[in-house]
Amino acid sequence: MDSLTVDNTYGHALYEAASERGIVEQIIEEFNAVSRVLKENPQLKRLFLLPIVSAPGKREVARNVFEGVISPEMLNFIYVLIDKRRIGAFDEIRRHYERLVSEAEGLIKGVIYSVVPLNEERVKAFEKKTGEALGKNVFLENRIDESFVGGVKIYVDGKLIDASVKTRLEAMKQRMKQ
């Protein structure tokens, strides 16, 4: 069923078109630029989502805001999302597109949660160990979670690697009960 989701359908279509034209990385940059504009201008995003504003009116606004700033391919993609009333899924489509690019490059992205920021050397060590365990190249983004007692949790490729102190203490508690 996942292959029928909006983000999957549109993300794949754009990835294939960008691959054919050799602009895969450019599209990532443009996705991020458009996302920033929509985040910084919530009224613009609301306008794109309003059902009372016609699709041609929304396309005209998109053209005025983005033409000359992004590629014609990305602008046409935005037009398609407007016409199909899928502009609300823009960020989900962007994330799916980035996953496709990472997979094509043999890289999977994940998140490593810790109580305090990890230095680059520690993150690289976790990337290496996680990559060896999964048999893939791994890139981890460090995020802070102050609810931890200590240790880390890694979310990558749909998997959770929980090396938090809390989980270790719980496991020790269970072993002592046996």
What's the CA gap between 117 and 123, in Å, rounded?
10
Same domain, 51 and 30: yes
Domain boundary among 87, 102, 117: 102
CATH of the domain at 87: 1.10.520.20
pTM of the entire predicted model: 0.65
What's the CA gap between 17 and 15, in Å, rounded?
5
Same domain, 127 and 142: yes
Same domain, 88 and 145: no
Same domain, 65 and 145: no
Residue 6 CB partners (closer than 8 Å, separation 6+): 86, 89, 92, 93
pLDDT single digits (tens) 8-36: 899 999 999 999 999 999 999 999 999 99
What's the CA gap between 39 and 25, in Å, rounded?
21
pLDDT single digits (tens) 47-90: 999 999 999 999 999 999 999 999 999 999 999 999 999 999 99
Other beta carbons within 10 angstroms of residue 108's beta carbon come to: 19
pLDDT above 70 (res 147): yes
Give the model's pLDDT for residue 1. 38
Cα angle: 12, vertex 19, 134; to 5 degrees: 65
Give the three-state DSSP class for 154. Answer: strand
Same domain, 55 and 90: yes
Query: Which domain does 93 fall in, by range?
Result: 2-102
